[in-house]
Chains A and B, each alone.
Chain A
């Protein structure tokens, strides 16, 4: 291991079981993961490989059955629910596949929601920069229902970026979008990593989405089976085919 890489998140021996007894399913099987800071990491795997569970436990949305996980240098697997909530609030941003926005708030209010919740001030310059890059300037007063799917996801990315979190978790962010809107969105996310040094960890099953990342982790049966740096869509696709996907 090189000592120069700062870790934004990591997990050691992460195990997650669902159900109990005969019906028990092991989603994560003693997994070790490191998410490097200022990198765009993609987590790939076939359905049921445990990739979503990995994202949820890393982000503190769900608890590990065994093992430990860290956000930065803070161990979160043993924290109380209140403390974990605070960590999520202060250090993590989220982009989900769908239902990212509060229907009763305008785009602007949705974007500033994390800051409003934690009572922090908005940095207007930073806000304007994000809005500019994401092309949302003329959509700020609209309610989510008045936005297209692509616009809604861009608002979700803006919301994740605005609080300058240490780490953004994205769960199939382009999964509900047409290919052009999806490509645009992933392009924005990549720019955020390159230009602002933002750390992003993204779960996807789409090889072309994974190709926007710096590094791809391949999951199968709750374990990491391979890793690829500087991926291209074709190489990822090949690798997935080898895994029998």
Chain B
């Protein structure tokens, strides 16, 4: 049986090529991502090893279990005093202990002009104290000397020229306390090859670092053990002398821990990629179903013959599944190879743009396993129905004159389709209007079921649709139009499946664009409804307190309100706590809370996450911050999920955290002050000492935020591109196979005088009708589901639904182009048929 299956695939590979490409594309998507994340993981493993290899033992703040995903580059609190350092130095086996200070700040370019422009991202500056011990600094001097006085610093060899500094220049360093100028006295190389991924690295003396960091302690202590001492033993010994909440860990363990954290993060990317690969393969499975269905029809007599000479139905089924498996293996192999090549190309591209962040790009075993598993599974599942159908072919079929698909009524298909569609709608309604936990799960699952239901029902919809279009098409294109309409109606299942593949792709696009468009309108509304004239943001780190004071003291400023965020423990878990001034906050911004913040009254507002824990208004909650704890009465609700879990006033914030980081501030001007003039005036006031702080008018900020949303839409659309290409391949594939099947008929048409051009047009009309039909269905479903999803996410702040008309128009134009493109090859093939051969053609 296996041999027969392989023979059969080899005998007529053309009809399977497009199917294989569909599978390969989906697999390639998964394989490429796995290869990239694997390389990324390898690259960072190497980097972490390099960073921590020099240090034998690291003493640092113990990571709390619950802490939110921390910023890798943010400086921690200064938890070690000079006494602690002395105590660690005194431990047996410690050769050298050096306190580490990280300064939050940025090295400004030599030609820096504060523009007030908000720029996205950018690699941060990393500023530390210089120990002079290369194993601890992880950097070696390549030019000049280390910082010796409190007015000197060194930069890494790549950053100095990039920022426009030469030895002897005064380097501008912006920190919380303003801009400080330090003389550049040396250049250093980080590790072996200064691979900093674009970040700026600088060192200064301990005293300068303390001054800039406004601190007198250390965030960490790096230890080199004495000759012959055991690192693990020294680490254990150090643990006894350091404060609670801190730990001593060997450099090797630290590297492994960091690498593990990164791997956990990368895993999410893999899951994301698998999800998109599954979407692509799901679309591909429609093509596989169609291809096998058509192949089974074309080979009815062959199967009948096999049945006659004693092949059982089960063996026939096995044979077809084996054929599917052969295709899956070949296609998955091609897909994995494509994915690997794609990953190689992409990593080379990234390397050229932003330096080497990847390790060696090798094909990980995961890519192979997932590639083959996904490819084989989807192909086999898709081939199962046609295979079962083949196994029911009676041996008498071998004796029939010609092969036609039996005209099974659509009743069962309609019933199942209707039931599934109803079930899907029901689940969506439950998710939207019933009070259930996690409504989006209901909406999501309902959507899946609805898609399958609509696919099944589409066959029924197509029949009347083709009837309806027939007269129109006949009027427009005469006999070509009539024949095209008939062809669509002749195989409603096949046409429906083909259109459905496109439908899913378009649906997801319409869904995502409806979602993002709504998100944009939410963002725009929120900023528009703000009473604040400017939002104050920092391009790096928190907003310095001094900057807010500067703004407050300017003429024309009514008040400045600020929002600080830090993490506190509640019932053993870490949550985000926002600190605000209730009166000014309420006056400046339309927060979604109940009642107004002015009712905070020294208590706390809680968000839906905390509500789900069973906390209610009137309850007492105890929060534990870094500096102290507070027991507060819940006085109200903050209604948006995903901002901060607890909202307290500034006094409580200070009690919990001491000095907390201000992440956002808003400026409200005096009445009658011209905003444009004020923005210039305030920006100028900030420029001298706080060049990293920028002012944004609400509409500017909304635009900026919307750019990110557009980017998100772009990324997702690109990921869905694979699914769409597969869907278009599906239209081409179905047409190609049906041209083969109709060879005799087309020959007859040609014989009675239909011109080649008309044949081509007939195929093109068929293609267009399927493409447009699929697109319209997809848009209806996608927009509908998008609206449903937005409604389901109401508690995240989605207040209004926006329908992306522009995008829908673009999708329709693309669908028409896709329809024409998909018809090209089948139309050419049909028009080229030799009349005599076509008539003599035997299935």
Q: Which of A's residues lie within 8 Å of B, judged by CB?
A: 52, 56, 59, 61-62, 81-82, 85-86, 88-90, 92-94, 96, 99-105, 109, 113-114, 116-118, 143, 159, 171
User: Using Cβ atoms and an 8 Å threshold, which residues of chain A touch B306?
Assistant: 102, 117
Query: What is the CA–CA distance of A171 and B309 in the complex, to the nearest angstrom?
Result: 14
Instruction: Determine, out of B2-10, B193-201, B554-562, B592-600, the stretch whose residues face the partner at the interface.
Output: B2-10
List the one stretch of B278-286, B395-403, B617-625 in contact with chain A: B395-403
Which of B1, B7, B396 contacts A56, CB < 8 Å?
B396
| Beta-carbon nearest neighbor of A90 in chain B | B310
A-B contact sample (17 more), CB < 8 A, given A104-B12, A116-B4, A117-B1 = A61-B395, A82-B313, A88-B310, A90-B310, A92-B310, A94-B308, A94-B309, A96-B399, A100-B305, A102-B306, A104-B7, A104-B8, A109-B3, A109-B7, A116-B3, A117-B306, A117-B310
- B residues 1-52 in Cβ contact with A at 8 Å: 1, 3-4, 7-8, 10-12
Q: Are A104 and B10 in contact (CB under 8 A)?
A: yes
- Interface: B149 (CB within 8 A): no
Tell me whether B744 is interfacial, beta carbon within 8 Å.
Answer: no
- 8 Å CB interface, B295-338 against A: 301-302, 305-313, 315
B305 and A105 contact, CB distance less than 8 A:
no
Does the CB pair B398–A118 fall under 8 Å? Answer: no
Complex formed: what's the CA distance from A159 to B315 in Å?
19
Q: Mark B439-483, 1 if CB is under 8 A from A, else 0.
A: 000000000000000000000000000000000000000000000
A102 touches B302 (CB 8 A): yes
Q: CB-nearest residue of chain A relative to B301?
A: A99
Residues in A with CB closer than 8 Å to B301 are 99
A-B contact pairs, 24 of them (CB 8 A): A59-B308, A61-B396, A61-B399, A81-B313, A82-B313, A86-B310, A88-B309, A92-B310, A93-B309, A96-B399, A99-B398, A99-B842, A102-B8, A102-B305, A102-B306, A109-B7, A113-B309, A114-B310, A116-B3, A116-B4, A117-B306, A117-B310, A117-B311, A143-B11
**Chain A positions within 8 Å of B305 at CB level:** 96, 99-102
Given known A102-B4, A102-B302, A109-B7, contact A62–B396 (CB-CB < 8 A): yes
**Interchain nearest-CB distance for B294 vs A (Å):** 16
Contact B312 A82 (CB under 8 A): yes
A90 to B311, CA, bound (A): 11
From A94, which residue of chain B is reached at the shortest CB distance? B308
Residue of A nearest to B400 (CB): A99
Contacts of A86 in B (CB 8 A): 310, 312
- Residues of A with C-beta under 8 A to B399: 52, 56, 61, 96, 171
**Closest Cβ of chain A: how far from B394's Cβ, in Å?**
8
Q: Within the assembled complex, what's the spacing in Å between the Cα atoms of A235 and B315?
A: 46
Chain B residues near A118 (CB-CB < 8 A): 310
Q: Are B309 and A89 in contact (CB under 8 A)?
A: yes
User: What is the CA–CA distance of A11 and B309 in the complex, to the nearest angstrom?
Assistant: 21
Determine whether the beta carbon of B311 is less than 8 Å from that of A85: yes
Complex Cα distance, B305 from A110, in Å, reads 11
Q: Which of A61, A90, A101, A109 contacts B308 (CB 8 A)?
A: A61
- Rounded to whole Å, the gap between the CB of A168 and the closest CB of chain B is 11
**Contact partners of B1 in chain A: CB under 8 A:** 117
Cα of A56 to Cα of B8 in the assembled complex, Å: 28
List residues of chain A with CB within 8 A of the CB of B398: 96, 99
Asked if A105 contacts B4 (CB within 8 A), the reply is yes
Please, which residues of chain A bring their CB within 8 A of the CB of B312?
Answer: 82, 85-86
Most buried by B among A59, A89, A100: A89
CB-based contact A117/B396 at 8 Å: no
Q: Cβ of A88: which chain B residues have Cβ within 8 Å of it?
A: 308-310, 395
Listed from nearest, the 7 A-B pairs whose CB atoms lie closest are: A89-B310, A104-B11, A88-B310, A104-B7, A104-B8, A61-B395, A85-B312
Binary CB contact string for chain B from 548 to 571 against chain A (1 if under 8 A, 0 otherwise): 000000000000000000000000
Kindly state the separation between the CA atoms of A90 and B753 in the bound complex, as whole angstroms. Answer: 52
CA A117 to CA B316, docked complex, whole Å: 11
Q: Taking each of B3, B310, B395, which has the highest tally of chain A beta carbons within 10 Å of its own beta carbon?
A: B310
B11-A103 in contact (CB<8A): yes
Rounded to whole Å, the gap between the CB of B309 and the closest CB of chain A is 5
Once bound together, how far apart are the Cα atoms of A69 and B305, in whole Å? 22
A159-B302 Cα distance, complex, nearest whole Å: 15
Bound-state CA distance A103–B301 (Å) is 11
Contact B7 A85 (CB under 8 A): no
A221 to B298, CA, bound (A): 34
Min CB gap A239→B, angstroms? 26
- Which of chain A's residues have a CB closer than 8 A to the CB of B394? 61
